[in-house]
Chains A and B, each alone.
Chain A
Amino acid sequence: MFKPLHAVSLAAALVAGAVSPALAQGEVNVYSYRETKLIQPLFDAFTKDTGIKVNVISASSGLEQRIKTEGENSPADILLTVDIGRIEEAVKAGITQPIVSGELDKVVPPQLRDPEGHWYAISMRARVVYASKERVQQTALTYEELADPKWKGKICIRSGQHMYNNALIAAYIAHHGEAKAEEWLKGVKANLAQKPSGGDRETARDVAAGKCDLGIGNTYYYGLMQANPQQKPWADATKVILPTFAGGGTHVNVSAVVLAKHAPHKAEALKLIEWLAGEKAQHMYADVNYEYPLRSGIDINPAIAAFGTLKADQLPLSRVANEKKAAAALVDKVGFDN
């Protein structure tokens, strides 16, 4: 139990302002779109290794805008973010500076970082199909096939405007052009069992309950479901198919790190960034969050490895980012979410 006095002093401290962490030494301030529950263990391990304290704020949107508005006095050192479209926008917003690190250049493959060093990917996830074990015999699929009328009334998916789907649709546009993508999106919409809603876990849950046969979701949710006793039955009733673009590979998106333009603790920030690309952190990304590590030689979590070998699409991520707005417009145009 906490004492009321603690609450009072805490309140006083809160109201007086938590300014000091931003100014103290041996610290690094992280603005994050990644969930605290995931990254806190990583930061704890980093602090243990280096003695550098990590201060965090996490949100779902608006952090770039916050950093931009805070301007020169911004305490932000690092922004941890997901989705290539968002990453590129942070760079365009002018809130980043190049990360200069020979160590990182050795570890992170060129297609997973900005040529000018404004962002480096830290981990990867694939957008895949959760298929009913009972009702789906196919073991391979193409994204194009999702528009095939044979799946009429059998597909579940979250909102087409969610960034995960936005990037998938953007990748489709990058592969086939807008006109074909529009046809495809209409076809997928015609195959939906219900209005796009919920999240990836609801999608898996609906497949398990027989509301639909195919669901679109991210790889790591499946790993999280298997590890959660309440959600394991949903994972057990479904199998993951790694779909590919016709003539391409599986759509992969990244989580990445950028260095804030006015980072007050640049040295510590660089240390943290290099640490996140290091072996220990990469193991944790694979094991705790079921993501694909970007560093070679790190074991993928067995739950994820069981999907088969990931053949990541070779389309450069920057081309996916370029189609972000077009993808959003297409979702509006075909009334995908309506």
Chain B
Amino acid sequence: MHSATGGPALRGAAVRLPADKIASLTIALAAAALIALPLASLMRLAVAGDTDLWPHLMAYVLPHAVAQTVLLLAGVAVVAVLAGIAPAFLVASFEFPGRKVLEWLLPLPLAIPTYIAAYVYADILDAAGPVQTALRDVFGFKTGAEYWFPPVRSLGGAALIVGLVVYPYVYLTARALFKTQSASFAEAAQTMGASLWQTFRYVSFPLARPAIVVGLALALLETLNDIGAAEYLGVQTLTLSIFTTWLNRGSLGGAAQIALALLAVVTLLIALERSGRRGQSVEGDVQDGTVTRRLPLGGGAAALAVLVCAVPVAFGFVIPGGYLLREAIRRGLISGIEPSLLTALATTVALAAVATAVVLAVGIAAAIPLRLAPVRTGRPLLAIASMGYAVPGTVLALGLLSPLVSVDEILNALARGLTGVNVGLVLAGSSAALIIAYTARFSSIAIGVVQAGLTQTPREFDESARLEGAGVWPILRQIHLPLLTPALTGAALLVFVDCLKELPMTLLMRPLNVETLATSIYQFATRGSFEDGALAALLIVLAGIPPVILLMRLPDVREKRR
């Protein structure tokens, strides 16, 4: 069945490891089930729902929503690519003043939830905000209606604001690749007289492309998941229409139908991108874990590099973070910190930490063995397991409830049989539901990062290890995990911070009396004074900083070791 020569030789070798295959298949199946079960319950809703609403949706809702969504995603993509890739390339390839600080400041906007960024920028840039108030004072206008000012609550405003806080997905994945990709390529190119731009355009960028696509996909899916910022800024996205179809148009079935259609489109786009990439795969043959030597920049070039790196940090982090800090101080929130907020902080960090560990385990256990012991169904299973990120949080949560409750009902039937007592909702009514929900939603990050990282590891490594008789787990532990460490740390950070700020699933699925930082902010926002939640927002940021710093230090440790 398999050819016995060249690359496929490895696959031939793998046939001799049925136990490994079963193990890797089981893990992939479990990971896929986490998504397949909620999707199945959504499908049940979609099928049960009638289709009477569709003529109305097609006539008045979806065309506009599709256009707005496409424009928003395009805008966010432009901002995220500009703000993510250039700084990633600069900090990975060059030495300039402030590089080290900027390198770890650049991912920090990740810790700022999109809806918080939207609130902050509306506060600053709306007619009543400091900017327009100053303009009126300077030019002698009396009201906000007498002059034109770009409206922050608009499609353009949303693209800019969301782009400025999701670009780190692109930055982090690109940077990890720029940093570890073969130095010999870039050096060879430059020795041969290639300009910097040519080196970037023809060598560094194509090598980093799989990772950049993973990052950009995460950024865009995060945009697609957002409801708070879109609603607040008045952008009628598809996700928002799913919501209004459910809540106002009174059709949960219709909402499930739109959600599944949206998921189908997203999945198709991701699959198309993957198949487009297959032909030009640059699976590393020469990669040897060398860290690129950074070229020193001087004078104008250094100043420009600092500027390019500082702008995203300023708008994505310093301004919103500074605004939150100012509000927290002004309102005496820091001096009079509420104990409930500290509980929320502990809860949030605990949940995020557990979920991150689970997600990483799923990513490693599902993706790596499948490379070493490939099974035909492996790829589609992993593709299913990666779909969680493409389903808006509230929709995924709704879909998860019923399989969780079904498991609980089985547990209750068992418990009744054994002890005669009901045990209640063991899964659906506890924080286990949240961990499962986070895992379902964020597994794709770990799987995607591991898969992208694996394409950088030459298959020759596996082959020679195999020839020396090593099994799947030793190869995983001794070859792949060390090589994947930077990418995995990046994934861990993304997942951890995503869990810290996750709102829609947490709101709907958390147990009684449990509050996270994100849900605390939400409590204030619904009362029309989100600034009173400024400290909770800052705590999300603070909790996100240590892992960021940890991540940024990691490659440097490697450098010192060599």
Q: Are B234 and A70 in contact (CB under 8 A)?
A: no
Q: Are B424 and A22 in contact (CB under 8 A)?
A: yes
Q: Are B234 and A212 in contact (CB under 8 A)?
A: no
Chain B 130-147 interface residues, beta-carbon cutoff 8 Å to A = 132-133, 142-146
Q: Using Cβ atoms and an 8 Å threshold, which residues of chain A touch B512?
A: 18, 21-22, 29, 55-57, 75
Closest beta carbon of chain A to B534's beta carbon, Å:
11
Q: Using Cβ atoms and an 8 Å threshold, which residues of chain B touch A178?
A: none
Q: Is A14 at the interface (CB under 8 A from chain B)?
A: yes
Q: Using Cβ atoms and an 8 Å threshold, which residues of chain A touch B424?
A: 19, 22-23, 73, 75
Tally chain B residues at the interface, Cβ within 8 Å: 82
Q: How far is the CA of A86 from the CA of B353 in the complex (A)?
A: 36
Q: How far is the CA of A224 from the CA of B513 in the complex (A)?
A: 25
Q: Is A202 at the interface (CB under 8 A from chain B)?
A: yes
As a 0/1 sequence over residues 195 to 227 of chain A, the CB contacts with chain B under 8 angstroms (1 = contact) are 111111110011011111000000001001100
Q: Is B5 at the interface (CB under 8 A from chain A)?
A: no
As a 0/1 sequence over residues 1 to 22 of chain A, the CB contacts with chain B under 8 angstroms (1 = contact) are 1100011101100111111011
As a 0/1 sequence over residues 336 to 352 of chain B, the CB contacts with chain A under 8 angstroms (1 = contact) are 00000011011101110
Q: Are A19 and B426 in contact (CB under 8 A)?
A: yes
Closest to A332 in B: B60
Closest beta carbon of chain B to A167's beta carbon, Å:
10
Contact pick for B513, options A15, A18, A19, A338, CB 8 Å = A18
Closest beta carbon of chain B to A16's beta carbon, Å:
7
Q: Is B559 at the interface (CB under 8 A from chain A)?
A: no
Most chain B beta-carbon neighbours within 10 Å: one of A75, A210, A324, A335? A210
Q: How far is the CA of A89 from the CA of B246 in the complex (A)?
A: 11
Q: Are A199 and B430 in contact (CB under 8 A)?
A: no
Q: Is B289 at the interface (CB under 8 A from chain A)?
A: no
Q: Is B244 at the interface (CB under 8 A from chain A)?
A: yes
Q: Spot the interface stretch: B393-401, B471-479, B487-495.
A: B393-401
Q: Are A197 and B127 in contact (CB under 8 A)?
A: no
Closest beta carbon of chain B to A10's beta carbon, Å:
5
Closest to B345 in A: A2
Q: Are B511 and A59 in contact (CB under 8 A)?
A: no
Q: Spot the interface stretch: B247-255, B263-271, B291-299.
A: B247-255
Closest beta carbon of chain A to B157's beta carbon, Å:
9
Chain A 86-109 interface residues, beta-carbon cutoff 8 Å to B = 86, 89
Closest beta carbon of chain B to A4's beta carbon, Å:
9
Q: Is B278 at the interface (CB under 8 A from chain A)?
A: no
As a 0/1 sequence over residues 50 to 75 of chain A, the CB contacts with chain B under 8 angstroms (1 = contact) are 00000111111111011001110111
Known interface pairs A73-B409, A197-B234, A208-B128; A17-B528 also in contact (CB < 8 Å): no
Q: Using Cβ atoms and an 8 Å threshold, which residues of chain A touch B133?
A: 209
Q: Using Cβ atoms and an 8 Å threshold, which residues of chain B touch A312?
A: none
Known interface pairs A18-B512, A211-B127; A195-B153 also in contact (CB < 8 Å): yes
Closest beta carbon of chain A to B379's beta carbon, Å:
32
As a 0/1 sequence over residues 278 to 289 of chain B, the CB contacts with chain A under 8 angstroms (1 = contact) are 000000000000
Q: Using Cβ atoms and an 8 Å threshold, which residues of chain B touch A17?
A: 426-427, 429-432, 511
Known interface pairs A35-B523, A61-B394; A211-B143 also in contact (CB < 8 Å): yes
Contact pick for A199, options B425, B528, B531, CB 8 Å = B528
Q: Using Cβ atoms and an 8 Å threshold, which residues of chain B touch A230?
A: 330-331, 529, 531
As a 0/1 sequence over residues 26 to 61 of chain A, the CB contacts with chain B under 8 angstroms (1 = contact) are 000100000111100000000000000001111111
Q: Is B71 at the interface (CB under 8 A from chain A)?
A: no
Q: Is B8 at the interface (CB under 8 A from chain A)?
A: no
Q: How far is the CA of A202 from the CA of B354 in the complex (A)?
A: 38
Q: Are A206 and B144 in contact (CB under 8 A)?
A: yes
Q: Are B346 and A211 in contact (CB under 8 A)?
A: no
Q: Spot the interface stretch: A118-126, A143-151, A158-166, A302-310.
A: A158-166
Chain A 151-184 interface residues, beta-carbon cutoff 8 Å to B = 153-154, 159, 161, 163, 166
Q: Are A198 and B394 in contact (CB under 8 A)?
A: no
Q: Are B435 and A66 in contact (CB under 8 A)?
A: no
As a 0/1 sequence over residues 217 to 244 of chain B, the CB contacts with chain A under 8 angstroms (1 = contact) are 0000000000000011110100000011
Known interface pairs A18-B512, A57-B511, A337-B236; A62-B394 also in contact (CB < 8 Å): yes
Chain B 515-554 interface residues, beta-carbon cutoff 8 Å to A = 515, 519, 522-524, 526-529, 531
| 23 A-B contacts (beta carbon < 8 Å) | A11-B350, A18-B431, A18-B513, A19-B426, A19-B430, A22-B429, A37-B524, A60-B522, A65-B252, A70-B429, A89-B250, A161-B248, A197-B233, A206-B144, A210-B146, A221-B528, A225-B528, A234-B128, A328-B248, A328-B249, A328-B250, A329-B249, A338-B64
